[in-house]
């Protein structure tokens, strides 16, 4: 977190410069068979490495707490199953961005009733046993979830959200900064981190993760049709009080329709993977 705080502390002096020239247009991944080509806008002063480092600290804290409570599962059959699926998906990540081959990927399974999973910046994956056990997930369905989460990391949706947050907060505070009235850099950093790490992804980002995740799973030899059975299960379990995973990943009918439309694009990749 220290580097991000340094960046935010410069806000009062450099606010105008950030707003006028600090944004750069990038496309973090290749389009793939599913054709994700949207240009993204990132603050140049908020680097991929800074975001990765910040998330890695949070990730290690979560893993450390799970280990101290005796709920970090590294040895069970289920843990080996999750790791094996992750390995196959990770091997396909360079198809979307070659530098992902050098990421310091980590995969951890936590024993908890929580219905949740995520992959943070830099390839830090966490799966909770509750998601697997409650939904009775097949390997293909686990791959659908994990592929979706890996896609968020490949597309750097966290850094993108944080960049937007900087723009919003700098705009709000720009006049005061230019008049030398100062600003609370800690509050700014907290706001930015909240946008980037805790708030739901935009619908556009969710759609990108759906499509790239679908292709990752297909390339890894997992049936892309599992994405449909997965989200149908999600819809049923969310009819009561929705689990945390569903609060940021709504299983709408339009989402399922979009996945169904994309499956023919990736089915040849799946068939090819099954033969190899």
Candidates 48, 78, 106, 149; catalytic one: 149
CB 213 within 8 A of CB 55: no
| Residue 149 falls in the annotated catalytic set | yes
Q: Report the DSSP pairing between strands 106-110 and 124-128.
A: parallel
Strand partners, 118: 126
Instruction: Provide the annotated active-site residues.
Output: 149
């Amino acid at each position: 977190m220290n580097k991000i705080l340094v960046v935010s502390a410069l806000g009062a002096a450099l606010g105008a410069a950030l707003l006028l020239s600090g944004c750069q247009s990038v496309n973090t991944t290749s389009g793939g068979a599913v054709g994700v080509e949207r240009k993204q806008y990132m603050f140049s002063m908020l680097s991929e490495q800074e975001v990765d480092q910040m998330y890695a600290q949070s990730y290690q804290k979560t893993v450390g707490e799970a280990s101290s409570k005796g709920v970090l599962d590294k040895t069970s059959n289920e843990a080996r199953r999750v790791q094996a699926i992750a390995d196959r998906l990770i091997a396909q990540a360079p198809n979307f961005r070659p530098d992902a081959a050098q990421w310091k990927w980590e995969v951890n399974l936590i024993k908890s009733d929580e219905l949740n999973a995520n992959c943070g910046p830099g390839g830090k994956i966490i799966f909770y046993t509750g998601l697997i056990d409650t939904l009775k997930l097949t390997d293909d369905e686990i791959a659908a979830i994990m592929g979706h989460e890996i896609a968020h990391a490949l597309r750097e949706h966290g850094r993108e959200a944080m960049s937007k947050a900087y723009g919003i907060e700098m705009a709000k505070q720009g006049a005061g900064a230019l008049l030398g009235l100062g600003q609370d850099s800690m509050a700014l950093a907290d706001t930015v981190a909240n946008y980037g790490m805790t708030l739901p992804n935009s619908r556009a980002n969710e759609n990108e993760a759906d499509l790239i995740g679908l292709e990752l799973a297909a390339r890894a030899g997992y049936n892309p049709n599992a994405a449909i059975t997965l989200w149908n299960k999600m819809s049923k379990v969310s009819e009561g009080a929705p689990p945390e995973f569903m609060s940021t990943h709504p299983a709408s009918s339009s989402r399922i329709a979009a996945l169904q439309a994309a499956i023919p694009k990736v089915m040849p990749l799946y068939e090819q993977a099954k033969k190899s």
